[in-house]
Amino acid sequence: MRTSNASRTVAKLNDYMDALANRGYFNGAVLVAEGNKILLRKGYGMANFEHDVPNTPQTKFRIGSLTKGFTAMAVLQLQEQGKLRIDDPIQIYIPDYPNGDIITIHHLLTNTSGIPDYPSFPNYWKETMRLYATIEQTIGSFKDKPLQFPPGEGFSYTSSSYILLGFIIEKTSGISYERYISEHICKPLNLVNTGCEDGRTLLKQFASGYSICKGIIPTEYVDMCLHVGAGVMYSTIDDLYLWDRALYRDDLIGKHVRDQLFGSMTSPVGSYGWVVTEQSINNKPRKRVWHNGTMNGFYVEFNRYTDEEIAIIVLSNINLTPIDIISQCLAKIVMGEDVAQPGAIQPLDTAPNTLEKYAGIYSTAEGNIDSLQADQLTEALDQLTIINTPRFAVGLFYDTFYRFGIDPRSTVVVTLEDNRLYLFMQKNKGAWFKYELIPVSQQTNTLNCVTAHIEEQLEFHTDPDGYLRLIHFDPAGNRIDAVKLTAEIN
């Protein structure tokens, strides 16, 4: 990249991220680099809102499933050392594991084992994630569950497989997973701000995680010991950039073994701990090696465009943040494609009582609930409106949906509180968020809104039959159409 072009790119990257941060759409840290040249390296917003501690490039974030790339590297190192083979059945290392004679390490690495994903179990959010567990106990929570498909005959993303890999790393190396990652990956690469979180060790400059329920709230507690091998790690944008550069070299494993990490774009299941796809940017196909990660209050994504040696690292400690869209926009800017910045918000003055008609339960699939009377709809909406933060955080609002026979998967709720509208809906990874709708313009039978905390648009309008509908657009341009439920259309 020529100096003049580089300067323009740096300015555009800064302008884009500053616009997001200034409008409250991003809170975290970002690093963008091309080869050995860092184009953007900056923290935004707060690492801790309670104590007004800002995010910086040195802030540590939970990185969730980015841990899987480190786990895969450790497995390939152990293969290179002759301590295991990728094609080994796991019964060699876990003799009593059901179907361990037909499930291989390769199946675990590629999410083709058929083992169900333990964080998706019904009691995970309310109970399991909050309790300390050894790696053996975590394995015990899913080992007797039936396989989703015969090993090697399907694909289903599952963190359970990487828990098993964490155990195999400990079994074959003779040391703990945490110690192995530290001694064989972090120390050789000088990743001084990367490691495994146990919740019982003081970590300086460590961000707190947050969610959204009307405003920013602390996330729910999770005992990180539950996620060894799958999501237990923390890092910084600086350390992840060092990790990126190391993946082009043979510092940790030889090239012939390293190539196994990234598989091939011709197979969706060929890579180990990473996803390899093709993405069109500026009218050109680009090889994209990437993974994202979530962990209570954190949402992160690491994109590597390996042909151009471009790294896009986006770490956020607010889990509503659309880091996938932000990452893609940053990549487009680096590769010369124009990206629109979020516009200024000019709230519309609304008189009291003019917003009442928009509050309600909206269905994306008409006829998805049993017949409800008007008073039942009112009661359901009232209960969803008065949800306090603790009940929201542990998912107790589901009781209201189920009590009235409402399918939450095809439901959007709009509440009115203190003359403010709030959108209550499912977002990334199936999590529910409640965030403000800000009216910005109004015409006959139409009200246009934008949202707080995330760059979205929503339109209310009355259709020719007199029913109130909403149209919701997320940052990716995905559209949701829903109709307000009334006693007449249930």
Q: What is the DSSP string of 427-472?
A: -GGG-EEEEEEEEEEEETTEEEEEESSS--EEEEEE-TTS-EEEEE
Q: Return the closest-CA partner of residue 414 out of 432, 397, 435.
A: 435
What whole-number distance in Å separates Cα of residue 412 and Cα of residue 428? 14
Share of the chain above pLDDT 90, in %: 75
Write out the DSSP string of 178-203.
HHHHIIIIIHHHT-TT-EE--SSS--
Taking the CA atoms of residue 439, residue 445, residue 446 and residue 452 in that order, the dihedral angle to the nearest 10 degrees is: 30
CATH 3.40.710.10: does it fit domain 3-334?
yes
pLDDT band at residue 3 using 50, 70 and 90 as cut-offs: low
Quick one: average pLDDT of 434-458?
95
Do the first three CATH levels of 3-334 and 356-484 match, i.e. the same topology?
no
CA separation (Å) from 220 to 9, 112, 132, 223, 429?
38, 31, 15, 10, 15
**Residue 272 is which amino acid?**
Y
Query: Are 319 and 296 a contacting pair, CB within 8 Å?
Result: yes
Q: Where are the alpha helices (DSSP H) in 310-350?
A: 323-334
Tens of pLDDT, residue by residue over 453-477, are 999 999 999 999 899 999 999 888 8
DSSP 272: S
CA distances from 395 to 117, 363, 415, 430 (A): 19, 20, 17, 11
Task: Count Cβ atoms below 10 Å from residue 22 Cβ, excluding itself.
Answer: 12
Query: According to the model, what pLDDT value does residue 369 have?
Result: 45
Residue 169's contacts (CB-CB under 8 Å, 6 or more residues apart) are 71, 74, 75, 78, 177, 180, 229
Name the token pair of 446.
């139409």
Q: Grade residue 257 by pLDDT with cuts at 50, 70 and 90.
A: confident
DSSP assignment, residue 318?
B
Q: In the predicted model, is pLDDT for residue 387 greater than 80? A: no
Alpha-carbon distances of 324 from 10, 178, 191, 200, 327, rounded to whole Å: 20, 28, 25, 31, 5
Spatial contact of 437 and 449, defined as CB atoms under 8 Å apart: yes
Q: Where are the alpha helices (DSSP H) in 132-236?
A: 135-140, 160-173, 177-181, 187-189
Name which of 160, 77, 76, 72 is nearest 114 in CA terms. Answer: 160
- For the chain, the maximum distance between any two Cα atoms, rounded to a whole number of angstroms, is 73
Higher pLDDT, 397 or 225: 225
Q: How many residues does the chain have?
A: 490
Look at phi and psi of residue 331 and say left if phi exceeds 0, alpha if psi is from -120 to 50, else beta: alpha
Q: Which of 48, 39, 37 is nearest to 17 (CA)?
A: 39
Q: Measure the CA–CA gap between 315 and 241, rounded to whole angstroms.
A: 12
β-pair type (468-473, 457-462): antiparallel
Its pTM surpasses 0.75: yes
The residue with tokens 């390769």 is 106
State the DSSP code for 317: S
Instruction: Read off the pLDDT of each residue in 260-264 and give the average, rounded to a whole number.
Output: 79
For residues 415-425, average pLDDT = 92
Mode of pairing for the β-strands spanning 310-316 and 360-363: unpaired
Between 14-18, 88-92, 204-208, 401-405, the lowest mean confidence (pLDDT) is in 401-405
Residue 204, φ and ψ in degrees, nearest 5: -75, 150
Token digits of residue 452: 């707080």
CA–CA distances in Å: residue 15 to residues 6, 26, 331: 14, 13, 14
HSE, CB side, 13 Å, CA atoms: give it for residue 460: 28
Quick one: pLDDT at residue 373? 58
Write the CATH number of the domain with boundaries 356-484: 2.40.128
Quote the pLDDT of residue 367: 47
In tens, the pLDDT along 210-238 reads 999 899 999 989 999 999 999 999 999 99
Ordered by start, the domain boundaries in the chain are 3-334, 356-484
pLDDT, average across residues 348-371: 78
Q: Summarize the confidence of residues 130-138 as an average pLDDT.
A: 96
Contact status, residue 40 vs residue 31, Cβ threshold 8 Å: yes
- Alpha helix positions (H), 300-394: 323-334, 374-385, 389-393
d(CA 197, CA 111): 24
Is a pLDDT exceeding 90 seen at residue 43?
yes
Q: In angstroms, rounded to a whole number, what is the distance separating the alpha carbons of residues 181 and 183?
A: 6
Distance between CA atoms of 44 and 23, rounded to whole angstroms?
12
* Run of H or E including 417: strand 411-417
Q: 160 is written with which tokens?
A: 């359970």
What single string gives the DSSP state of each residue in 279-299? EEETTEEEEEEEEEEEETTEE
